[in-house]
Amino acid sequence: MKSSILIDTPENELLEMLSTEKDKISKMKMSHEVSPLENPKLITSTRKVIARIKTELSNRKNRRQE
Q: What digits encode the pLDDT tens for the residues 8-53?
A: 999 999 999 999 999 999 999 999 999 999 999 999 999 999 999 9
Q: Is the pLDDT of residue 55 over 90?
A: yes
pLDDT band at 2 (very low <50, low <70, confident <90, very high): confident
Residue (of 30, 31, 25, 27) closest to 44 by Cα position: 25
pLDDT of residue 12: 97
**Exposure string (b/e) for 27-49, b if CB count within 10 Å is 16 or more?**
ebeeeeeeeeeeeeeeeeebeeb
The domains of the chain are located at 3-65
Are the CB atoms for 46 and 24 separated by under 8 Å? Answer: yes
